[in-house]
Amino acid sequence: MGHPAGDIGLFLFILTLLIRNSKWLPSFLLFCPKFINPDWMADISDKKSVAEISLPGTHNTMSFYGGLSVQCQSWSLKQQLEAGVRFLDIRARHYTNDLPIHHEAFYQHVTFRNVVQETMDFLNYHPKELVIMRLREEYCSERNTETMYDTVTRYLKLFAPRDRIWWSRRIPTVGEARGKLIILQNFDGKRLGITYGANDIMSISDDYHVATVFNIPTKWHGVQQHFEAAIVGDKRKIYLTYTSGSGGLFPLTIASHMNSNLYDLLAKMNGQKRRLGFIIMDFPSAEVIKMIIGFN
């Protein structure tokens, strides 16, 4: 997969970024990570549960095309993984027994097959890492003769050895999951493994509708509250906190505020080995990713 230059006007893109002057912007303007963290999980104990990790992730990981109201990322999948992202939010439309990646109605010029291949390539080169993938059915399902479960498992069997996928419904330890892809199933049908949103093993904060800049403080307050819950909460549960948002504002505009707030908060907490859970962002910077990793 090539670099997602997309159909965004570069001038508009950079102009929006420059509205905010904060420490996360320089990496972002490079359209690639300022530095990388491809093997950061190697130092985490094999005995630790995946639920106990502070882990950087991206929201709508493959959303590059469709304009400023749709685009959520600027780095390619390979760049995200090399930067240290370990949670992927993949949205696939089930169409003609295939799985094109969409953000709502907008096709992202890539398929689930490409995503699996690139993820497994990364894990082959970095076998002590693991990748968690929320797989959600997106947009309308049409012209299929098999279920989405059948299509997903068909591609997994073709492009990922069975022992490289986590098939259990149980949250694994880091040692059990090294070199593997863990899918969080967010579509109907037969059970593939761990169910996304299962209340007994997950706590999710995803208040994504942000109508105006005046709603950003409310969004940020919810993020902070969920971090506090993750710090003291059940270590057997995965805590997923989405800093992303959309609605009346572009995802990029919201990210400029949220990522700046996140940078400042993490800097204040520097050196504290606390479980913050999975932090899922639009347009993350290498600095913020590194800071999240540092909480392990």
Residue ranges and CATH numbers for the domains of the chain are 21-293 (3.20.20.190)
pLDDT value at position 10?
46
**Global pTM value:** 0.92
pLDDT value at position 288?
96
pLDDT band at 8; cut points 50, 70, 90 = very low
pLDDT value at position 23?
53
> If you average pLDDT over residues 65-86, what whole number do you get?
96
pLDDT value at position 19?
44
pLDDT value at position 102?
99
pLDDT value at position 32?
81
How many Cβ atoms are within 10 Å of 184's Cβ, its own excluded? 25
pLDDT band at 34; cut points 50, 70, 90 = confident
pLDDT value at position 6?
45
> If you average pLDDT over residues 179-187, what whole number do you get?
98
CB 188 within 8 A of CB 136: no
Look at residue 85 and tell me whether its pLDDT is greater than 90. Answer: yes
How far apart CA 233 and CA 224 sit, in angstroms, is 14
Provide the token pair at 42: 């190697």
Long-range contacts formed by 185-190: CB under 8 A, 24+ apart = 185/135, 186/134, 186/135, 186/136, 186/137, 187/94, 187/135, 187/136, 187/137, 187/148, 187/149, 187/152, 188/137, 188/148, 189/147, 189/148, 189/149, 190/147, 190/149
| Tens of pLDDT, residues 112-138 | 999 999 999 999 999 999 999 999 999
279: enclosing H helix or E strand? strand 278-281
Taking the CA atoms of 211, 107, 131 and 29 in sequence, report the sign of the dihedral they define. negative
Look at residue 227 and tell me whether its pLDDT is greater than 80. Answer: yes
In percent, how much of the chain has pLDDT > 90? 86
> If you average pLDDT over residues 99-109, what whole number do you get?
98
